[in-house]
Amino acid sequence: MNRELDLTQAQWRKSSYSGGDNDCVELAVFDDRIAIRDSKCPDRSPLVVARADARAFIDCIQAGQWT
């Protein structure tokens, strides 16, 4: 996963569950990766993970396997 992502064209999405305090994460979805950033600090470098890894993480949370 060494390839650079061009984040200048990223379409960042925020959860509909976000509060008005801008205290959430934002996601930008690419072909095989997802960029994740803190909505309070959008200029910081985002965390970039494989889509499959993000899906597995979310599945674990939804199944109650993440504590």
Structural domain containing residue 45: 7-62
Write out pLDDT tens, residues 16-65: 777 666 678 899 999 899 999 988 888 999 999 999 999 999 899 899 88
Assigned domain for 17 exists: yes
Assigned domain for 12 exists: yes
CB burial of 21-52 (b: ≥16 within 10 Å; e: otherwise) equals eeeebbbbeeeebbbebeeeeeeeebebbeee
- CA angle (52, 57, 59) in 5-degree steps: 95
Count the domains in the chain: 1
Assigned domain for 1 exists: no
Asked if the model's pLDDT at residue 7 lies above 70, the reply is yes
pTM over 0.85: no
Asked if the model's pLDDT at residue 2 lies above 50, the reply is no
Assigned domain for 48 exists: yes
